[in-house]
Amino acid sequence: MPAAALAAGLATGLLSALLLGDGIGVNLLLIAVPAALAAAFAAILAGRRIRPWTVVWGTGGLALLTVPALREAGWPVFLTFVAAFAAGALALHGSRTWRGIVLAPVGLLGAMPAGAVWGWRGLRARAGARGSLGPVLRTGGIAVGLLVVFGALFASADAAFADLVGALAPDVSVAEGPVRVLLFAVGLVGALGAARTAAAPVRWDLLPVTPGRPRSRLEWALPLIVLNVLFAAFNAVQLMVLLRGYDAVLSQTGLSNAAYARQGFWQLLGATLLTIVVIGLAVRWAPRDGARDRILVRAVLGTLCLMTLVVVASALRRMDFYVDAYGLTRLRISVAAVELWLGVVLVLVLAAGALGARRLPLPRVVAASALAAVLGFGLLSPDALIAERNVERYERTGTIDVGYLDGLSADAAPALDRLPEPLRSCALRNIAHDLDVAGTPWYALSLGEHRAQRILDARGISTARYDCTPDRDGDPYDPYGDYGEGEGEYGDGDGDGGSGGDPYGDY
């Protein structure tokens, strides 16, 4: 256990205990830096070299941890945290194959108990060696003592300096002691596990895997060719719909706008997922006797990928059509983002088939695209985009569901601030109720919360004169009539199958 890695692990535990008890913000990035240094010190001592893909995974993981400092919404922040953990696991293991990429996070979790034992042995070894640990402890104790004593003197001598120290230093009470100790242990064990993995990673890529038995050309190609014909027929129908327009198709099928768009999207999303599974199985059992087999595989699977890309475009078009009619929600933007990423995966499969596995390492590139998609999704601020699209729709149609929008995070405040009163105050009331910028430390706040607080300080909200709960019988609080009734928002006209239910139905 390198002394530098052990010190970095202790710093990670200390920062975790001080910064993690008050919320999530830039503190995650501050804690990740010494943990990454612990892994780097351990890897250097073990003789591991830093490779280009290690830099990609490491910088990508740290970039993902900037999202909590920018966005307040919990759901994209959770996704970025999971993706950052996966990126760190890939950086430590250096995985190249599909099984290595999938099992790398498991390996990092499994290394944490071993890392704790490794750290304890390293600490005991240095404590037993004369003169190795004592000077370090004495130096650290003297530095902390001087900082506390002179910091307290300066704070009592100058009110401005006292305010600065109070704003920057964490507020730790005795009652929070057990929680802080637990956070210290989690941070320390996590950093030591990362260091242990960096020094001696499990080589998941070397696990033996039985290759698939190659099939004959006819046995392999015939089902896929039939599938390609089916995709071609479906895409031809989509082209006819595009040329004729949705109105003609709806009058012929008897479906409503919502039923046609919503049902079609889910089916097409499922078709895209199944197609990727089929391609993976087809590659495993593809014939591999020579150049003719390679040409056959590339032609059949390339055609299937191109056909599926048309399906992806059709699914996204249907979602856009549905959002224009009934507004954007978290579920809708999430599944649309997944469909878009699946389209990127298909393009990467096409590129790998054309360039070869040596020029384009497909497992790594697909994993990198997933991390980039999660990072882009978080930086895009989905709650802000949802509010923006729904406000634009209100300005265009005069209908809006404030009951849904008032559940968004502080990221949505700039867009909701554009609404007229009383809709504005009703949409912002929950944000104002949950926001506590003054009582939250700087390291646990996001940029979205700061912006929302500025908006509320500038204009405030007032809901004392009206009820912000819309009445489904046509008597809502606001002066805007029946609050969207008759537009398919609350009745059965949107094809959601409900009777006066949620305007977003089961979707």
- Give the tens place of pLDDT for each residue, 231-278: 999 888 877 776 666 566 566 665 666 666 666 677 788 888 888 899
Helices 52-64, 74-93: crossing angle, 10 deg rounding: 160
Give the CA diameter of the chain.
Answer: 89
The CA distance from 337 to 344, in Å, is 11
- C-alpha distances (whole Å) from 203 to each of 61, 90, 94, 96, 381 are 21, 11, 9, 10, 37
Residue 470 to residue 401: CA distance in whole angstroms: 9
> What is the structure's pLDDT at 375?
95
Got the DSSP string for 422-482? Answer: THHHHHHHHHHHH--STTS-GGG--HHHHHHHHHHHHH----TTS--S--TTS--SSSSTT
Please enumerate, as own/partner, the contacts of 107-111 that have beta carbons within 8 Å and a separation of 24 or more: 107/197, 107/201, 107/202, 107/204, 108/193, 108/194, 108/197, 109/193, 110/202, 111/193, 111/194, 111/196, 111/197, 111/202
Token pair, residue 457, equals 């300080």
Report CA torsion sign: 48, 50, 54, 59.
Answer: positive
Q: Are 286 and 215 in contact (CB under 8 A)?
A: yes
Q: Which residue matches tokens 């990454």?
A: 36
DSSP state of 204: G
- Phi and psi torsions of 268, nearest 5°: -70, -35
In what helix (H) or strand (E) does residue 237 lie, and over which residues does it extend?
helix 217-244
Torsion angle of C-alpha atoms 356, 357, 359, 365, degrees rounded to 10: 120
Contact 433, 440 (CB under 8 A): no
Residue 468 phi/psi, 5° resolution? -85, 5
Which stretches of 245-329 are DSSP H helices?
A: 246-253, 257-284, 291-326
What CA–CA distance (Å, rounded) separates 57 from 49? 14
Cα gap 251→239, rounded to integer Å: 17
Task: Provide the pLDDT for residue 263.
Answer: 61
Q: Say if CB 70 and CB 379 are below 8 A apart.
A: yes
Q: What is the pLDDT of residues 273-289, one digit of tens each?
A: 888 899 988 888 888 78
The three-state secondary structure class of 383 is helix
Distance CA 95, CA 200 (A): 13
What span, in angstroms and rounded, lies between the C-alpha atoms of 500 and 507? 15
Are 456 and 428 a contacting pair, CB within 8 Å?
A: yes
- The answer to whether the CB of 430 falls within 8 A of the CB of 406 is yes
Q: Domain segments of the chain: what residues?
A: 3-51+94-206, 217-379, 381-496
Token pair belonging to 182: 């637990």
Residues of the chain with pLDDT under 50: 471-507
Q: Give, in degrees to the nearest 5, the angle at Cα 387 between 68 and 474.
A: 140
CA distance linking residue 102 with residue 351, whole number of Å = 22
> How high is the pLDDT of residue 478?
40
Looking at residue 92, what is its pLDDT? Answer: 93
What's residue 384's pLDDT? 93
Asked whether 432 and 461 are in contact (CB, 8 A), the reply is: yes
The pLDDT score that the predictor gives to residue 468 is 76
Q: How many CA atoms lie within 13 A of 478 on its CB side?
A: 25
Single-letter amino acid code for the residue at 414: P
Interior CA angle at 277 toward 272 and 283, to 5°? 125
Q: Which residue has the tokens 């256990």?
A: 1
Predicted structure pTM score: 0.80
Pairwise CA distance, residues 54 & 318, whole Å: 39
Calculated CA dihedral for residues 286, 291, 292, 298, nearest 10 degrees: 50
Among candidate residues 448, 449, 443, 411, the one with its CA nearest the CA of residue 28 = 443
Q: Which residues of 258-273 are buried (b: 16+ CB within 10 A; e: fewer)?
A: bbbbbebbeebbebbe
What pLDDT shows up at residue 507? Answer: 35
pLDDT of residue 3: 83
Euclidean distance between the first and the last CA atom of the chain, given in angstroms as a whole number: 52
